[in-house]
Chain A
Amino acid sequence: MSVDDSRFAAAQRTAASRRGTKAGRLKAWLVIVPTLALFGTALVGGASAFGKTDYGATARKLPPGALVLVSAQDGGSWLQRLTSSGKELCAVTPAQMTQVAAHYDVSYVTVTMDGRDVRIAKVSGTGANDHDMRVYLGDARLTCKFVREGGVFFLPFDPNIS
């Protein structure tokens, strides 16, 4: 259709029935309101978790034992590494825990998991990473999991209608 034709066609049109019925428009709000509520919850929930490390979720994936928090050095999939806080939580036996406490600088944090308080030993100083700790404890099969960090990965988009 040439420009002239489309102009001619436009000049013949009328606005009749462009809006739709009032009932039809109001019905849409049955979808809009719950979606907006979900949006609000996701937005504020996601933002308040921003930067927080989720020890509880990580600990649940580990076998029973004492928990030690170390820096992540290697291992894991690329996605795990990209979305982790750069730390790993490892499950050790009580005997290994004694060894760790004797070798590293250790401080403790308490987190709530499934309604009960769980103590985590945070190790620091030279060699406070999963690789060196495995070597030190002589346990290559020590189970460690990446600790995920909450992030806000969306845009504050709003096209200005100017």
Chain B
Amino acid sequence: MSKRERAQAAIYAGLFVLVLTSGALFLSQFAGSATFWKHFTLGYLVLLLLYTCYLFALLFVNDLRPDSYPLYAGEKIAVLIPCFNESPELLEHAVRTICAARGRKQVIVIDDGSTNGARGYLAEYERRFDITVHYFLENKGKREALHYAVTHLLDDDVEFVVTIDSDTVLEPDALIRVVEPLKAATIGAATGNVLLLNEEQNVLTRMIGTYYWVGLNIYKQAQSVIRSVVCCSGCLAAYRAPLLREIIDEFANQRFLGERCTHSEDRHLTNLVLRQGYDVVYVEDAVSWTETPATLRGFLRQQRRWKRGYIRESIYTLSYAWRNKRLLFMQVLFWDLTAPFLSFGLRVALVVTAIRLPALVFTTILPSWIALMLIRYIFIPLRAREKLVGLFLYMLFYEACLYWLNLWALLTVKNTSWVTRQQSAQV
């Protein structure tokens, strides 16, 4: 076991200690004195306040001095599209829009062992569009697909590599917008905006639409100000080609607690870029469109996978960020990774209060909760009013269901199943 792996195992164990401590503090109020519990509650809320101020300060800086980057000047871009059992129509649409997008391109599709007869239609696309297609005989996973493309298929003169999902639709200038930051010497990767094609489909997709909006326009935007975006989304991400060649072997062979990692490859690739000392930014104007699961079951499966990746990769971040990304290190250590587990006792307290005193749910808990939600996510009433209902639904759903999924993800973090890729391409 390497030093880094030992550190990761220790941090992972530390998360269990956090959950147990938080639970024990909740119980301590019934064992005589509530002093520890009161101090813990106050401490947590001060932490919440400090984090909110920090987040808002970053967003203020972004509004005051929005980033601008050098203009695209014809550098060659390789576009990698791994696909697995993707429907012919969606893939054709993705390929067509990418080929039509502005920029000098090499488009590579890697068929990851599809079993839906993809060979036939991919061969036809190869004739109709200016693309290269490579076929795996069996399903090897997205990491292997990206690894193969970077090590065997990239042209020598490629300067930037853009990865996109096989069901993604790009706006015409998305490709050049997302690679422009990479012309700055310190930036190693960039990620684009993701909008939902099916946001209007039902209540769930509206809720998820808000979740995406908050994730991109609040969290990712704030991370971009400190040049440390933690996840270049699989929908649209750009990397420097030489950097990608340097880290791709390590990326393909990632292990966590001895197990080979299969999912959340986008977060790990971003982590490797940050670890090399490069900056990672978010480009709001580089817009891609995708579809989200429209059923609760599909969404929960996706969330299970994402939350496992969130825990694993946040632990990974802590193992290197103190050396070159201190603000990111502090952010992950004091909030991103720890807050869900630290707040375990508080959430249990809330459930207990709601059961013991149900009348309080409507007279006190819900009104104060809505008021505070509107303040913490004030950017929605100010900048995306149409998503207010989605925010409210999402927050309720998070507290009732998704929060508890964090605990499940903590217990099953080594699980490697992809879950949503069984039938079709990843969502």
Contact = CB atoms under 8 A, between A and B. Distances in A.
Interface residues of A, number: 49
Contacts of A39: 49, 52, 372, 375-376
A7 interface: yes
Contact of B42 (A32, A48, A160): A48
Contacts of A135: none
Given A82-B360, A156-B45, A162 B306 contact: yes
Interface stretch (B10-18, B71-79, B398-406): B398-406
Place the interface of chain B in its size category.
Answer: 35 or more
Interface in B358-385: 359-360, 363-365, 368-369, 372-373, 375-376, 378-379, 382-383
Given A18-B285, A19-B284, A22-B66, A159 B357 contact: no
Contacts of B173: 14-15
A155 B63 contact: no
Contacts of A32: 56, 378-379, 382
Given A156-B347, A161-B214, A26 B48 contact: no
A28 B382 contact: yes
A78 B309 CA distance: 46
Contact of A4 (B46, B93, B350): B93
Contacts of B42: 44, 47-48, 50
B45 A43 contact: yes
A79 B373 CA distance: 24
A84 to B, nearest CB: 11
A12 B376 contact: no
B198 interface: yes
A5 B373 CA distance: 36
Contacts of B215: 161
Nearest to B335: A158
Nearest to A19: B284
Contacts, number: 172
A100 to B, nearest CB: 28
Contacts of B174: 15
A15 B287 CA distance: 7
A38 interface: yes
A154 B48 CA distance: 12
A11 B231 CA distance: 24
A149 B360 CA distance: 14
Interface stretch (B105-113, B136-144, B149-157, B336-344): B336-344
B363 A79 contact: yes
Interface in A1-21: 3-4, 6-8, 10-15, 18-20
A95 interface: no
Interface in B319-358: 335-336, 339-340, 343, 346-347, 350, 353, 357
Nearest to A6: B197
Main secondary structure of the interface of B (DSSP, over half): helix
Nearest to B307: A162
A71 B173 CA distance: 71
Contact of B53 (A11, A12, A40): A40
Contacts of B364: 83, 151, 153
Nearest to B177: A15
A160 B383 contact: no
B310 A157 contact: no
B63 A7 contact: no
A39 B198 CA distance: 35
B195 A10 contact: yes
B197 A7 contact: yes
Contacts of A51: 34, 38
A78 B358 CA distance: 11
A78 B360 CA distance: 11
B427 to A, nearest CB: 14
A14 B171 contact: yes
B296 interface: no
Given A10-B195, A47-B41, A157 B378 contact: no
Given A19-B66, A162-B231, 7 more contacts: A7-B169, A7-B197, A7-B289, A36-B375, A83-B364, A153-B353, A160-B406
Q: Which 3 A-B pairs have the closest CB atoms?
A: A162-B310, A161-B215, A10-B289
25 contacts: A3-B198, A4-B89, A11-B97, A11-B172, A13-B171, A14-B171, A19-B285, A20-B383, A28-B63, A36-B53, A36-B378, A38-B375, A47-B42, A51-B38, A82-B360, A154-B369, A155-B346, A155-B369, A157-B372, A157-B395, A158-B339, A160-B336, A161-B214, A161-B220, A162-B306
